[in-house]
Amino acid sequence: MRNIYCIFVFAMAVGWGVLNSTDLRAQEAKPSGDAGAKSGAPAPAPEQDANHGPAYSGMYTFLKEGEFVQVSVEDAGHVTGFVSRFGDGESDKGAFLDQFFKSGKLEGNKLSFTTEVVHGVAFDFKGTIERGEGKNPGDEAYFVLKGTLTENASDVNKKVTAHSQEVLFKMFPQDAAPQAVERK
């Protein structure tokens, strides 16, 4: 049952990412005719390609097998997304928890995000988005999130304990969506 739930959540996240990337592609469309030429705005340099932000959007691995972080880059470097992870506490041990971003920002390749608190735990990430070992766009680890992840856990007395670690989260391959099962 848990595997079915994980596949369902994974498929929902992939669908959400596809919808967001479709919206972003529609927003990137250049005006037709002379409208673009009249603005006088210079074309971005190749290393500042306007398409690079949305290219970073996608699912990345998280701390444990089966966990992931969904990153969606929107206009002006605004980042939305969520972390899906297994609970570690007494009341949520093994339960699948979704923690949406409270804030997120991308400046160049510098990424930061903070999640909402769920069951007394929140995450802060500060790092970069870099090219990974994947050879082509859509390959596993084409981009990676590299930086410091801080887990802020509060106990019943509201005492917060912070644990930081260096992390490297790899982008999932673009065709990682579960295949539809044909019914007979």
**Per-residue pLDDT tens over the stretch 77-92:** 999 999 999 988 777 8
Q: Domain 2-28+50-170, what architecture? A: Beta Barrel (2.40)
Our CA angle for 88, 15, 92, nearest 5°, is 15
Q: What token pair was written down for 111?
A: 């990424």
What would the pLDDT profile of 113-132 be if each residue is shown by its tens digit?
Answer: 999 999 999 999 999 999 99
Greatest Cα-to-Cα distance within the chain, rounded to the nearest angstrom: 63
pLDDT exceeds 60 at position 51: no
pTM value > 0.75 = no
Give residue limits of the domains in the chain. 2-28+50-170
Q: What is the pLDDT of residue 44?
A: 34
* 132-157 residue pLDDT tens: 999 999 999 999 999 999 999 998 88
d(CA 28, CA 161): 42
Non-local CB neighbours of 88 within 8 Å, separated by 6+ positions: 121
Pairwise CA distance, residues 87 & 110, whole Å:
28
94: Cα separation from own chain's centroid: 22
Distance CA 112, CA 129 (A): 10
Decide if 13 contacts 84 (C-beta within 8 A).
yes
Could you tell me the two tokens for 147? Answer: 């930086």
d(CA 162, CA 18): 34
